[in-house]
Amino acid sequence: MTGGASVHQFPTGDAGVTLKQAVDSFLGRDLQPSSRRVYGLTLNKLLADLGEKRAIATVTLDELEAHLVARYGDTSPATYNRNLATIGSLFNDARRHSWIVTSPGENLERRKERRTTEQLARAQVISEEELATLTRDSSIPLRERLLWQMLYDTAARANEILGLDITDLNLAEKEAVVIGKGGDAEYVVWTSATARLLPRYLDGRTSGPLFLSTRRPPPARTPARRDLDPETGLSRLSYRRAAELFGHYSAGRTLHKLRHSALTHLAERERNLASVKAKSRHRSLRSLERYVNPSRQHVKDITDRNDPNRRHS
């Protein structure tokens, strides 16, 4: 949708919140310094074009499209889409704060990118920096941040982790027993990043599903007993809802990309693919191949390390 000024006005929330205040709040979150700098470059240009005192609830889709075309119309699709995603995240954050009701950023159209096979494979990977930004963002509920960190740490399938009960956990050993793809009981392990979040989320609970929904199910849709928390009456978090929330916070990514990213990063660091296979719990190395997509820089590093004329310090 392009052209002149839009006649449609999005429903307004708190009209007293300015665009500058929303940007300051967005950048004031617990972000990596590099992420804050990159986001700031994009959002400062938005402020310059639309005005710092502009009420964020009055910004329209047409204005955002005009801004993107004027600022990034001649850049590559990847650059255009990166800036679009940052602006979309700003408005999603404003909606979470109830400063707006509907985000105009949701309808911004990404530009198609021509990618090599390597680039397409790497597009499945979430960078470690991006994951850290998501899991440290205090504006995102703790349940979601724990789930994402746990999925990445364990490289487990989403339905395996969502199916965990608290009694399946061994907090001291940082491990749990899941029901694997073939129906067998299998161990998954996590790092201190998950270990730090788990006690905060459990908050003293000792039984029932690990990940709970936020609302009690209606009587007509009462789940199986093992999917209910006996103390609160809340049901187990569903895959559908978990996937929906991750897509919302991560610009449309799927939960499976956390497993894909974990195994790709591990394959880049771990020379023994048998160890990666043990982590992934695949039946064969052939099944693991689609996850092993080292970056071009990683290939260069391997070549340099094995250069016969390399100087050793």
- Give domain limits for the chain: 19-110, 128-291
One-letter amino acid of 240: R
Q: Is the pTM of this model over 0.85?
A: no
Distances in whole angstroms, Cα of residue 225 to Cα of each of 213, 229, 234, 235, 286: 15, 8, 11, 9, 39
Q: Which fold has domain 128-291?
A: hpI Integrase; Chain A (1.10.443)
Query: What pLDDT was estimated at residue 102?
Result: 87
What distance in Å separates the CA atoms of residue 96 and residue 166, rounded to the nearest whole number?
Answer: 29
Average pLDDT over residues 179-204: 92
One-letter amino acid of 56: I
Q: What is the percentage of the chain residues whose pLDDT exceeds 90?
A: 48
Q: Which fold has domain 19-110?
A: DNA polymerase; domain 1 (1.10.150)
Query: Residue 174: is its pLDDT beyond 80?
Result: yes
More confident residue, 12 or 224: 224
